[in-house]
A and B are shown apart, each in its own frame.
Chain A
Amino acid sequence: RKEVEQDPGPFNVPEGATVAFNCTYSNSASQSFFWYRQDCRKEPKLLMSVYSSGNEDGRFTAQLNRASQYISLLIRDSKLSDSATYLCVPPNPWEYMRFGAGTRLTVKP
């Protein structure tokens, strides 16, 4: 099993839709996790950081399921500007961040 697995998509959704991504992981010794957003040919930028089992920020909700070893990102009321690749960074015992391969989201009018 890969250390971090993420569905590459693409997810094509209409504006206003709710969409969720999961990211499974192994080798966890911490509870903090992160979601980064990467626009085409740009650098990744932090979307959400979570130091507990979950966090909600506006239309975005991130959750951790330690028993099943996955994290999720839920986007409600999708906007065209949400189109991007979403990179997960699950809990891990090391000092560096391990990124998933990314899930590509396209929100269409």
Chain B
Amino acid sequence: GAGVSQTPSNKVTEKGKYVELRCDPISGHTALYWYRQSLGQGPEFLIYFQGTGAADDSGLPNDRFFAVRPEGSVSTLKIQRTERGDSAVYLCASSSSRLGAPTGELFFGEGSRLTVL
């Protein structure tokens, strides 16, 4: 498809388990962002990739969270030893903006809803 694709759309897991969330951005978009959104809140920034490198990972809450984008396209957000507080919708967005240019429009995927029991 032409838009940002995220899988799985829903993930239910148990406390302490490992989870991977995948994002397939719009073809040709060099910038990729991960956000998470809790009920009643705006999207909270997690990490930003420009190409293959993490340009800014200051939003990752702790070292249980990690993200990769090895070929500059698909990205995977990895959460180790999940906790109930990790439950949220994890949104991926991509953009055609270049580093140093004004951040243009973000195109979001539909999100992965994570529930940690």
Q: For the complex, give the distance between the alpha carbons of A101 and B42 in Å.
A: 4
Residues on A with C-beta less than 8 A from B50 are 95
Please report whether the interface of chain A is mostly helix, strand, loop or mixed according to DSSP.
loop
Q: Which of A6, A45, A101 contacts B108 (CB 8 A)?
A: A45
Q: Is B117 an interface residue (CB 8 A)?
A: no
Q: Which of A32, A99, A101 contacts B103 (CB 8 A)?
A: A32
Report the contact-size class of chain A (Cβ under 8 Å from the partner).
Answer: 20 to 34
What does the 1/0 interface line of A1-33 toward B look like (CB < 8 Å)? 000101010000000000000000000001010
Interface size in chain B (residues, C-beta < 8 A): 26
Q: For the complex, give the distance between the alpha carbons of A98 and B110 in Å.
A: 19
Tell whether, in the assembled complex, residue A51 and residue B102 are in contact, meaning their CB atoms are under 8 Å apart: yes
Tell whether, in the assembled complex, residue B110 and residue A42 are in contact, meaning their CB atoms are under 8 Å apart: yes
Tell whether, in the assembled complex, residue B40 and residue A87 are in contact, meaning their CB atoms are under 8 Å apart: no
What does the 1/0 interface line of A87-109 toward B look like (CB < 8 Å)? 10000001111111110000000
Q: For the complex, give the distance between the alpha carbons of A49 and B106 in Å.
A: 11
Q: Is B45 an interface residue (CB 8 A)?
A: yes
Q: Contacts A30-B102, A32-B103 given: A44-B108 contact, CB under 8 Å?
A: yes
Q: Contacts A6-B42, A8-B40 given: A43-B102 contact, CB under 8 Å?
A: no
Given contact pairs A44-B106, A51-B102, A95-B31, a sample of 16 additional A-B residue pairs in the complex whose CB atoms are under 8 Å apart: A42-B110, A44-B91, A46-B105, A46-B106, A87-B43, A94-B56, A95-B55, A95-B56, A95-B100, A96-B103, A97-B103, A99-B42, A99-B43, A99-B44, A101-B41, A101-B42
The 9 closest A-B pairs by CB, nearest first: A99-B42, A43-B108, A96-B48, A101-B42, A46-B105, A99-B43, A32-B102, A102-B42, A96-B45
